[in-house]
Amino acid sequence: ENLVDIARTRLDDGPPDRLNEALLPLTLQYTGQPSSEKISELVQQMNTRGATVLLLTALDDIAYTLNVRGSDIPFNPVFFSYLVIRRNPSTNTLNSVILFWDQGVLATNIAAHLASENVAVQARPYADIFDYLRSLSVELGAGGTIWLSDEASHAIVLAIENGPARILSTSISPVALKKCVKNDVELQGFRLAHIKDGTAVVRSLYWVEKQVADGVNVTEVQLSKMMEKLRGEEENFMGPSFSTIAGAGE
């Protein structure tokens, strides 16, 4: 038993609600590769590894694979979810893609986005993942193999071990490895982001110099707010990647 859960129960202090903000589709203009191609490459790796199922638990891996972003965690464009990719062992082709998210109902724009990228995604409630994995392990039998990163939670592993399916655990997921190699569109996106951010930083420094020249004492908090304001004026700004650190020392 989890001592934190026991303490919270006795104190009648339940866990905070899990956010499920609206999802954002990311088009080829920003990704450079449709989700269907990414999944096809993963299925090829599953064939090589002899894996019947690939289970993605890292939120950034899931967002990258589906070309979808979220905002469930501050400063991170991810959403609480699990993604299951099943391979048909007899044909070595894709069987199904299952997304465990929120209540299992995708918004119209997200469903349309996935369809436009030739991906048929079955959506199921987020809370169903453990029961699904228990049943899946039994369904696959001793001849089935479920591939997951060794960073998956202990609860995920226990659910799979409930049945006879074998676990293939690797130190890093195949998606994380693929993300290390950027395509031309992603590289250009990096360059544009740095140019836009650099513009905002230079404008912020100019603002500070002008304030100081006018005898105004600028605090770090004021500068942080100004930097976020100026960054927000740049096209396609979605938010900072971390809380701004605008000063150091005395």
pLDDT digits (tens, 9 = 90+) for 90-105: 899 999 999 999 999 9
Amino acid letter, 240 = P
Query: Is residue 168 within 8 Å of residue 87, measured between CB atoms?
Result: no
Whether 250 shows a pLDDT value over 70: the answer reads no
pTM of the model: 0.91
Give the whole-number percent of the chain exceeding pLDDT 70. Answer: 99
Q: Which whole number is the average pLDDT over 7-17?
A: 86
Fold of 3-179: Creatine Amidinohydrolase; Chain A, domain 1 (3.40.350)
Residues 41-78 pLDDT 10s: 999 999 999 999 999 999 999 999 999 999 999 999 99
Confidence of residue 249 (pLDDT cuts 50, 70, 90): low
Residues 171-210 pLDDT 10s: 999 999 999 999 999 999 999 999 999 999 999 999 999 9
Q: Which whole number is the average pLDDT over 228-239?
A: 95
Q: How far apart are CA 174 and CA 64, in angstroms?
A: 12
Q: How far apart are CA 209 and CA 24, in angstroms?
A: 38
Reading the block at residue 62, the tokens are: 């899931």
Residues 18-27 pLDDT 10s: 888 999 999 9
Mean pLDDT (the chain) is 95
Q: How far apart are CA 17 and CA 219, in angstroms?
A: 35
CA separation, residue 27 to residues 31, 33, 35, 37, 114 (Å): 6, 9, 10, 14, 10
Amino acid letter, 21 = E
Q: How far apart are CA 201 and CA 245, in angstroms?
A: 12
Give the whole-number percent of the chain exceeding pLDDT 90. Answer: 88
Q: How far apart are CA 3 and CA 9, in angstroms?
A: 10
Q: Which whole number is the average pLDDT over 31-37?
A: 98
